[in-house]
Structure 1
Amino acid sequence: MTDRRNIFQRKAIKYSTAILLAAAASAPAMSQAPPAPERNILTWPMPETVSPEGRAMAGAMASAPLPDPMPPVAVQRQVIGGMQEMMGKQLQDRHGVRVEASEIAGVPVRIIYPNGVAVLGKGPVLLNLHGGGFQLDSGSLTETIPIAALTGVPVVAVLYRLAPENPYPAALDDALAVYQALEKDRKASQIGVYGTSAGAVLSGELLARLTSLKKPMPAALGFFSGSADMSKSGDSESWAPIPTGEKTLAGAIAGYIGKTDPADPILSPIHGDLSGFPPTLLVSSTRDSLLSGTSIFGRALVEQGVDARLVVFDGLPHAFWAYMDIPEATQANLLMAKFLKGRLDRAGKAK
């Protein structure tokens, strides 16, 4: 990478990690005291198990100063949107995909077509719910372009309504509308659903809503660094804090939760019936503030009989695969793509 690309990438990492969970300046803090500074694992020396590129970029992320105070949400959206466009252009050039702005069921979407695929058609499709703490779009390109290229399957990224202007269930309603529109042209078994960070949270909520509606499940769920419980914080939120402050996930996305009971079984699927969920891949990392949330959900799925597997990368921060041009990001995307494509292929053979 050129020095200029390195600068942009490091800014994207720092901003994205800081506001991926969208701890806006006005978001209320939870009652627990912040952890002692020495417990902030993001500042610890990087282990040798991480690639040299990963160590360099994670170190730059941990050491770079943040704006103080954090800018308003509108400014954050502009900054992160620009970074998505910049990084998305690099990924398009690298992977040879085509990105189309469109609308499905009245909801704006981005459709990512892999090389050789001209139209969405009626075949297999992947539905992406992007990260960004429900307040930003910090993943509709970086989370989708590599997956579309590696699977050869079109990806539809839902540009759902954002909080705090549109609290729960606005984003979920948009995700459901797009999912149901896609299902009109194909069976549920030809759809794979995945998301990172807030998108992982939303993907669990989408499947919980489908369960409540007694609708067929998609072929697969990719749950990448999220949580399925807004009513409790996990241990990793104390020792791998969000850089904007030691807030819990629920505190960071308070504008999205709004007045909904945090233990609502759709907002927090872990409080509902998970037994009908499809095969699920969960991915996190040891310096991810949502490692606990991801692993707790994985255990709950296994306990209810779901084919779920958890993969934890060593030493890297929250959602590193979407923002860091390092070998581990390539490995994570390959892992995710293999799982999603494999489940779609298996469902197709079972018809």
Structure 2
Amino acid sequence: MRQPHRAVLSFSLAFAIAASSAAVRAQTAVPYDELARGEAVANSQAGKRVAPPKSIGNPADDVSPEMQAIIGAPYPPHFNADPKTPAEWKELIDRRAKLAIANLPAMKAKLGVKVEQTRIAGVHCFIVTPSKMPLENRRRLLIHVHGGGYVFGPGEAALPEAIMMAGFGGFKVISVDYRMPPDFPYPAAMDDAMAVWKEVLKSHERHRLAIFGTSTGGAMTLAMVLRAKDEKLPLPAAIAPGTPWSDIDKIGDSYASNEWIDNQLVTWDGWLGRAAKLYANGTSLRNPYISPIYGDFRGFPPTILTTGTRDLFLSNTVRTHRKLRRAGVIADLNVYEGQSHAQYEANVDAPETREAFTDIAKFFDRYLKQ
């Protein structure tokens, strides 16, 4: 009768030892043998893994100096923002938008693109056109759905990724300025994106169309294909969901393993999780149009995914890749050393940025009809 009690006691003791050794290690360097013994005790039971406190320096020299600076940057000041009212959300959103918009003139000039505003199916959009467009891209068109946790990136603030794709890839891009919380929770963003998709299909052959976006935009890219399937609409010839928020809930290894390591998103328990709940507005977080990982990926178009080893959404991206492959879908996965969430598009001058968008452009070139 006492055997289960001893098992529980030894399990508790293991965690107590781990906690105690962790506190000591935080103050002084512990010899490896002692560290290994403590971790062996702490992890002697099946289930959760216990790791010692750690710090991670910048990655190896094969990462560019420009990207090294991004990887080593402090946390963003808004990572733990906790707006309580719609007014507080809007103040945070507007403050961040102004920072993004300030960089646009230089980015457009550097990459040689022009941006025009328009309305498509009643939805505010931007048309981004490169000054140099390869002949094979003249009849191709990309639809862009931006990232930002469903709350950030209103208006022009959503344009950096679309500008990079147009500039580096030589494609004409329609960027959808979809409605967002706090005024417009789910399904407003998806309704806007699908309205644009349906309108574009009236004048363009689906074999010349692709959809792309990063983070929230990656999730929306996947969800748009799911919804197009459900509505019996033509699907794009290819898609590029970058580090997609494919499970909006805190599910997946890297939500734990890369928490406090990712210096962009940092933790789901900060602004990110609060934005998830604001967007869902009471709808289940496992709704496939919100968390597309729970949808049916059979019949999806060829897909290219991009992430980094420190990305909080690394597991989201890996789970999506494996599910696509298991569904028989052509799916490429690019993983960058040391990068936190979406840092492959954080600096237009970083070689990794050109590399990432060039890879996506080549992928599109392979699967889009000329």
TM-score, with structure 1 as normaliser = 0.80
Gaps of 5+ in 1: 1-34
Q: For residues 145 and 268 of structure 1, what CA distance do their matches in structure 2 show?
A: 27
- Who wins on radius of gyration, i.e. which is larger? 2
1:254/1:107 Cα in 2 relative to 1: closer, same or farther (>3 Å)? same
CA offsets per residue over residues 28-72 of structure 1, 9 Å max, x none? xxxxxxx99946xxx62111142222222221234x655875563
Q: Secondary structure at the match of 2:174?
A: strand
Q: Is the 8 A contact 2:287 2:294 kept in 1?
A: yes
CA offsets per residue over residues 302-338 of structure 1, 9 Å max, x none? 0000001111000011011232242212211211222
Q: Is the 8 A contact 1:151 1:341 kept in 2?
A: no
1:37/1:248 Cα in 2 relative to 1: closer, same or farther (>3 Å)? farther
Q: For residues 61 and 54 of structure 1, what CA distance do their matches in structure 2 show?
A: 14
Q: Supply the RMSD in Å over aligned alpha carbons.
A: 2.7
Q: Secondary structure at the match of 1:162?
A: coil
Q: Secondary structure at the match of 1:273?
A: coil
The aligned counterpart of 2:162 is: 144
CA offsets per residue over residues 261-309 of structure 1, 9 Å max, x none? 2222333333232111100001000111001001101100000000011
Gaps of 5+ in 2: 1-49, 260-264
Q: For residues 220 and 237 of structure 1, what CA distance do their matches in structure 2 show?
A: 28
The aligned counterpart of 1:51 is: 64
The aligned counterpart of 2:120 is: 104
Q: For residues 311 and 79 of structure 2, what CA distance do their matches in structure 1 show?
A: 21
The aligned counterpart of 2:358 is: 334
CA offsets per residue over residues 179-237 of structure 1, 9 Å max, x none? 11111001111110001011111111111100101222101110101132335611111
Does the alignment pair 1:255 with 2:278? Answer: yes
Q: Which moved more, 1:74-83 or 1:208-217?
A: 74-83
The aligned counterpart of 1:212 is: 230
Count residues with an aligned counterpart.
306
Correspondence list, 1:53-68, <5 A? 53-62=66-75
- Opposite residue 96 of structure 1, the aligned amino acid is G
The aligned counterpart of 1:240 is: 258
The aligned counterpart of 1:75 is: 91
TM superposition outliers: structure 1 runs of 4+ over 6 Å:
none
Structure possessing the higher relative contact order (Cα contacts under 8 Å, 6 or more residues apart):
1
Q: For residues 346 and 249 of structure 2, what CA distance do their matches in structure 1 show?
A: 28
Paired-residue identity, %: 34
Q: Is the 8 A contact 2:254 2:311 kept in 1?
A: yes
The aligned counterpart of 2:183 is: 165
Q: Secondary structure at the match of 1:113?
A: strand
Q: Secondary structure at the match of 2:90?
A: helix
Q: Is the 8 A contact 2:130 2:171 kept in 1?
A: yes
TM-score, with structure 2 as normaliser = 0.76
Q: Secondary structure at the match of 2:309?
A: strand
Q: For residues 60 and 74 of structure 1, what CA distance do their matches in structure 2 show?
A: 26
- Opposite residue 118 of structure 2, the aligned amino acid is S
1:82/1:249 Cα in 2 relative to 1: closer, same or farther (>3 Å)? closer
CA offsets per residue over residues 105-128 of structure 1, 9 Å max, x none? 1000111011157xxx99321000
The aligned counterpart of 1:21 is: none
Q: Is the 8 A contact 1:144 1:157 kept in 2?
A: yes
